[in-house]
DNA sequence: TATTGGTTGTGATATTTTTCACAGCGCTAT
DNA sequence: ATAGCGCTGTGAAAAATATCACAACCAATA
């Protein structure tokens, strides 16, 4: 039912990044197997993924990087540059703001919101930070669709509900909490504990594999 | 070929978290459909996932939470509590340290490493922070397997290579860079830009879906 | 004791995603 | 010309993952 598979979208986003790097290195064309190699994919997958967005290359030169980047952008990005808001200007929130300042992408953090009086109505590294009271009206007035949620776990559900009520349709959630929201809101969970547990699991598996191999040699 | 599917592992980790919450609420038994509801899964998937780790419940009471948590732990966790190191004590790194201080999990950050003289040989919120020079010997002496990588993009490749050389088998990578490492090292990428682009994409899709539905009603 | 009701564990089936493999193409070199 | 090469686009097969659906189970109840 979804127009495109999640995994395909992730790869498309990755391809675009790698293509931008290639382009800035002066490359103008790329073959599916090269793009695969630098993206950790396979040539067949690359070709299939690009087929998905209706892009065609040449059998002789491969894909023209510039136009492919444009096609990927047409597919991935919104027509207008997208504003997002940050909810929760704690340690993580501040790190996110400073991270986004460096990068000049299509995605910009329009404002941050935090109930803590010490931080409100000021600027965090150039990004305006308002009191949470003003969050919903800001979303409505500026037609914000996406929010990054970096509030304490105990606050996450309530904050997410407020976001959904104000019309947000996508939440990037850093709190280790499952948000239960109407399915009009897309939630992407970035749970650090989960990521670390997963990494630890495969680290262990990897080490055991190596140990086993040594046993054979 | 992998002993367990990635997605299954992710769900198992999630189940455990939800079960811990249920247990602390005083619940002692849970049915597959309840666990599914709070984990965003389905009852069939829950049952299959638990089958995967060889856990059995009762048809009458469901699963006994305490023993299920134990079984999940046996499967997911290492036998000893696992130490991880943090590489790069910048904004993100510091946020990660303070995050892990709050939580008392099986996973502990043993030390941080940063080449910046202003931070070295000191403590960051109680976590020892050493100069990068000492990183490899620390890994070897303490038999560290897992590292969290939060260095600037330009440094990521070199830092990852150093980690791999010292024997790290799992890297949780926050830099927006694809690491090319021998396949003895498991790499989990947590690319924030990718996450945000993905969220924005589905936010847009969701909004369009809603708009379309309104058109029908 | 027999019936009911609601659950698990799991074969069987359906769907999704990946991989295979090759026809067909356009450039190059002869 | 035309043969050869190495690539793309894609149908078809395979593999991975999710879903269905039901026998077997057991406590509660009549
Ligand atoms: N620090 C990390 O590296 C890290 C990593 C992964 C996940 N997380 C999660 O991200 C969240 C934030 O982490 P942190 O370390 O920045 O915590 P923090 O306590 O430093 O910051 C949380 C901020 O949210 C604000 N806040 C509280 N309620 C709010 C509300 N209703 N609306 C808006 N803002 C509100 C607080 O005033 C505070 O400034 C937590 O849920 C944490 O579990 C953190
Ligand atoms: N800040 C965020 O929220 C955020 C989010 C996603 C991804 N990232 C990525 O995470 C990384 C770190 O982000 P940040 O905001 O903390 O950057 P930062 O510049 O604040 O911190 C980077 C730290 O790494 C240290 N460092 C440099 N080279 C090193 C090396 N070889 N070994 C160990 N440490 C080294 C620096 O001294 C600095 O303290 C970047 O790659 C960034 O793109 C950051």
Q: What are B18-37's pLDDT values in tens digits?
A: 999 999 999 999 999 999 99
Mean pLDDT value across residues B48-77: 96
Helices B6-24 and A192-216: crossing angle, nearest 10°? 130
Cα A27 from Cα A68, distance rounded (Å): 13
| Alpha-carbon distances, residue A117 vs A65, A69, A111 (angstroms) | 49, 44, 16
Cα A129 from Cα A122, distance rounded (Å): 5
pLDDT in tens, B166-215: 999 999 999 999 999 998 999 999 999 999 999 999 999 888 776 654 54
- pLDDT, residue B56, reads 95
Nearest-Cα distance to chain B for A61, in Å, is: 25
Chain B residues close to A210, C-beta within 8 Å: 169, 184
Percent of chain B at pLDDT > 90 equals 80
Q: Is the pLDDT of residue B39 over 50?
A: yes
Domains A6-76 and A82-194 share a fold: no
- pLDDT, residue B183, reads 87
Mean pLDDT value across residues B105-113: 90
Nearest CA to ligand 1 atom 25: A88
- pLDDT, residue B111, reads 95
Burial string for A166-181 (b: 16+ CB within 10 Å, else e) reads bbbbbbbbbbbbbbeb
pTM value is 0.94
- pLDDT, residue A121, reads 64
Cα A96 from Cα A94, distance rounded (Å): 5
- A86 or B102, which is more confident: A86
- pLDDT, residue A216, reads 40
DSSP letter (8 states) at residue B135: H
Q: Is the pLDDT of residue B83 over 60?
A: yes
| Alpha-carbon distances, residue B120 vs A95, B85, B142, B157 (angstroms) | 20, 15, 19, 22
CATH 3.40.190.80 fits A82-194, yes or no: no
- pLDDT, residue B217, reads 35
Q: Is the pLDDT of residue B2 over 70?
A: no
For chain B, what is the mean pLDDT?
91
- pLDDT, residue A81, reads 85
Cα B125 from Cα B101, distance rounded (Å): 8
Three-state secondary structure call for residue A176: coil
Chain A residues close to B18, C-beta within 8 Å: 178
- pLDDT, residue A132, reads 95
CATH 3.40.50.970 fits A6-76, yes or no: no
A204 beta carbon < 7 A from strand C?
Answer: no
| Ligand closest to CA B100 | 1
- pLDDT, residue B211, reads 63
B45 beta carbon < 7 A from strand C?
Answer: no
| Alpha-carbon distances, residue B173 vs A55, A91, A134 (angstroms) | 31, 19, 35
Output the six-digit token pair for B21.
Answer: 């919450």
Domain boundaries, chain B: 6-76, 82-194
Mean pLDDT per block of 10 residues along chain A (217 residues) reads 83 97 95 97 98 94 96 93 94 94 82 83 85 96 97 97 97 96 94 94 83 48
Query: What Rg do the C-alpha atoms of chain A give, in angstroms?
Result: 21
Q: Tell me which residue in A10, A200, A210 faces B146 most closely, judged by beta carbons.
A: A200
Protein CB footprint (7 Å) on chain D nucleotides:
6-11, 16-21, 24-27
| Alpha-carbon distances, residue A133 vs A120, A137, A174, B13, B23 (angstroms) | 10, 8, 21, 35, 35
């Amino acid at each position: 039912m979804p127009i495109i598979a999640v995994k395909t979208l992730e790869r498309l986003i990755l391809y675009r990044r790698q293509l931008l790097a290639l382009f800035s290195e002066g490359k103008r064309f790329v073959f599916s197997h090269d793009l695969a190699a630098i993206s950790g994919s396979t040539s067949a997958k690359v070709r299939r993924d690009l087929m998905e967005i209706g892009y065609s290359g040449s059998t002789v030169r491969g894909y023209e990087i510039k136009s492919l980047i444009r096609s990927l952008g047409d597919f991935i990005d919104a027509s207008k540059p997208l504003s997002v808001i940050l909810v929760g200007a704690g340690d993580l929130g501040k790190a996110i703001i400073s991270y986004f300042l460096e990068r000049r992408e299509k995605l910009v953090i329009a404002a941050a919101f935090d109930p803590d009086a010490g931080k409100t109505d000021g600027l965090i590294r150039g990004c305006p930070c308002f009191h949470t009271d003003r969050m919903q009206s800001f979303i409505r007035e500026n037609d914000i669709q996406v929010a990054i949620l970096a509030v304490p776990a105990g606050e996450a559900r309530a904050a997410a509900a407020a976001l959904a009520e104000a019309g947000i349709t996508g939440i990037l959630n850093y709190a280790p909490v499952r948000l239960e929201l109407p399915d009009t809101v897309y939630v992407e969970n970035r749970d650090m504990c989960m990521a670390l547990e997963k990494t630890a699991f495969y680290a262990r598996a990897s080490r055991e594999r190596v140990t086993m191999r040594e046993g054979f040699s």
